[in-house]
Amino acid sequence: MNELQPHTCEGDAVPSTSAKAASDAVAKLFGSEHEFRLSLPMLGALLPMFLWVDLQGKIRAMGPTLHKVLGGQALLDQPFSRHFRVGRRQDRIEPCAEAEGCDRTAVGGKTRVGDCGASLLTIANERMVHLTLISQPAIGLRGEAFALGPAGKHGTLINLSFGFDLQEAVATFALTERDFSPADLAMELLYLQEAKSLVMQELRALTERLDAARKQAETQALTDPLTRLANRRAMEGALAQAIAGAAQGGAPFTLIQIDLDYFKSVNDTLGHAAGDYVLLAAARILHEEMRAGDLAGRMGGDEFLLLLRGVMTPEQVKHLAARIIDRLQEPKWHEGRECLISGSLGVVMSLDYSPPEMERMLVDADTATYAAKEAGRGCCLMYRELDGVET
């Protein structure tokens, strides 16, 4: 019967001292069933989860909370084994040692612990008991069992609690503070658990806010405040990653540097507001013309940079550059005054370098851009096509 006997593990919920004292008093003082029945209202108030099972294994009385847990059914005189199973859900329960003297026979010809009152008295001798609700097998009950009357002639009294399943039981059966004994600390423990949960929720929310603020700060540190494109720091970081990937056999890339022609004239004659308007228009054009996966950035002043990831032919690059130049040259009006600009573009391709280096590529892109300005502005030149240069 060792597997039948409950044991107290670390963390097991044990009935309160007052509940234990009440159970002992009931078990010892009442010598007749009549006296015990007279005490049931008081017992229900002190032990709202009590259960009384007679020697025939039938339920004779139970506390109001346990009655509520079982759905408020008329359970008196019904077999204990119809609603309860001795042991935890995962336990392997052995046949009852009192099978020979038991007048009940379970399915399969075997009598299990709980099928008869005599078997429950063996539990009372060990005091601690674990039960499983057949209607709610995920919720376990635990407590103490006591023999009623001399040699247990009036059956077994079991004082139960929910233990670790308290929170789930309260939610499942809609229990309130009134369903527990005033001396029971269950609700206080539940309140503490809820308070802990609220604190943990607030800590998680605070962590999320801090993480969002950190990400926002990082984004702001890598974003040009006017155009909302990547700034120089972000572009250099992305370029470093592209160079490292290409050096290890990854995808090649292309850089297009864009300098706005006549921007200084717009800024000086029409004012800084008009200049900002032109910069925003240029940023919008670059954003709309680049492909998914590409990156556009403002390197400072009227200088922009496009990082085009992946394989592109010179013809494809020139076609993209021509579209950008055409759009930059379209009439732009700010407060009724026309802002005339164009763009000079310089191009370098990573496949022309072995290995590609950031500083050299940026210098060569600047050289190609300067050559485009010298060639009349509003055009695009590739560094590889310049006379007298080595790639």
- Split at pLDDT 50, 70, 90, the class of 38 is low
The CA distances from residue 345 to 105, 253, 254, in Å, are: 95, 16, 13
User: 75 or 5, which is more confident?
Assistant: 75
Contact status, residue 91 vs residue 7, Cβ threshold 8 Å: no
Fold of domain 232-385: Alpha-Beta Plaits (3.30.70)
Question: CATH code for 2-184?
Answer: 3.30.450.260
User: 391 or 206, which is more confident?
Assistant: 206
- Split at pLDDT 50, 70, 90, the class of 24 is low
- Could you read off the pLDDT of 169-214 as tens digits, one per residue? 888 888 887 888 776 766 677 667 677 777 888 888 888 888 888 8
Residues 6+ away with beta carbon under 8 Å from 237: 222
Angstrom distance (rounded) from CA 108 to CA 63:
33
Instruction: Of 26, 36, 123, 39, give the one whose Cα is nearest residue 84.
Output: 123
Angstrom distance (rounded) from CA 65 to CA 175:
8
Give the best-scoring range by mean pLDDT among 102-111, 140-149, 153-162, 288-297: 288-297
The CA distances from residue 334 to 60, 273, 327, 339, in Å, are: 92, 9, 16, 7
Ranking 119-123, 181-185, 270-274, 375-379 by mean pLDDT, the lowest is 181-185
Angstrom distance (rounded) from CA 259 to CA 346:
9
Angstrom distance (rounded) from CA 201 to CA 194:
10
Burial of 344 (0-12, 13-18, 19+ CB in 10 A): buried
Angstrom distance (rounded) from CA 54 to CA 245:
80
Ranking 120-134, 278-292, 362-376 by mean pLDDT, the lowest is 120-134
The CA distances from residue 59 to 52, 286, 347, in Å, are: 6, 82, 90
pLDDT of residue 108: 45
In this predicted structure, the answer to whether residue 36 has a pLDDT above a threshold of 70 is: no
Q: Is the pTM of this model over 0.85?
A: no
In this predicted structure, the answer to whether residue 11 has a pLDDT above a threshold of 50 is: no
Average pLDDT on 58-65 reads 89
